[in-house]
Amino acid sequence: MVEQVHHPAFPLPANPDAPIWRYLTRSKFEWMVNEGRLFMPSAAHLGDPLEGTQPPGDSNYWESLVDHAASEAQRRTIEHNRQLISRFAAAFRTRYYVSCWHLNDALNPAMWKLYADDSESVAIRTTPTKLRSALSAYVDIGMVRYIDYAVDRLPTLNMLEYITHKSTLFEHEQELRAVAMHPVVEGLDQQHFRTNHFEAENKPTFRVFAPPIHFAAIVDSVFVHPKAPAPFFDEVHSLCEKHSLPAPMRAAW
């Protein structure tokens, strides 16, 4: 087994056993439970055009270094480094595979409406510790940090900072995310990644990492939308029973 090494670009929550939530439409919940896999699309398909990109604040910093270079040789070196990092940022955006979770002590109706705005939907609850235990060692998890993309810089040059920062416009999400990339070291991890990496048949540019997970071991609670029709509640109950998940409860707010 590969030892888990915590990456500094993924700060852990103050309480690693605090509740985290996923809000799922009917189709996503059914797929997840029946397949026993965590769906992790690439950052390029998460819906936020800034996701995984270089903040303008970072670009402005490099431009300032170029403008104030002490010599032509230094200017060329800085410009080369700036372009190299920019190319890396663009290339890596399609290589980050992400699962997003909401950190909160209780159900959040606003987040539910945002990510599963349908009465036939479900919220599942686990903890960062349990999610970490269910994932391979090469998958990192940690809290997203929020910055003003117009002026703020990323804290280091590590490329993983690009996928662990978002605009302050999304600060309400209180997001913890799991991020996978193709392991660079040959061996078991690379084979595991390749086995669980898929492309859509009708859209080859849509790629997803979907590692198998024993959800019965990590899901603490299942909540059905408060306005869910009775037949849907019964279907969720049957699915949970079939896959040894906790019996669903009807959310209330």
Domain residue ranges of the chain, discontinuous segments joined by +: 20-48+96-250, 54-92
Query: Is 125 in contact with 20 (CB distance < 8 Å)?
Result: yes
Burial class (CB in 10 A: 0-12, 13-18, 19+), 244: exposed
Query: Is 250 in contact with 221 (CB distance < 8 Å)?
Result: no
β partners of residue 187 = none
pLDDT, position 1: 41
Q: What is the pTM of this model?
A: 0.89
* pLDDT more than 90, % of the chain: 64
| Spans of the chain, pLDDT less than 70 | 1-5, 184-188, 204
Query: Is 185 in contact with 147 (CB distance < 8 Å)?
Result: no
pLDDT, position 235: 98
Contacts of 33 (CB under 8 A, 6+ apart): 215, 239, 240, 243, 245
pLDDT, position 4: 54
pLDDT, position 5: 60
pLDDT, position 103: 98
Cα 252 from chain centre: 27
pLDDT, position 57: 83
pLDDT, position 150: 84
pLDDT digits (tens, 9 = 90+) for 72-85: 999 999 888 888 88
β partners of residue 152 = none
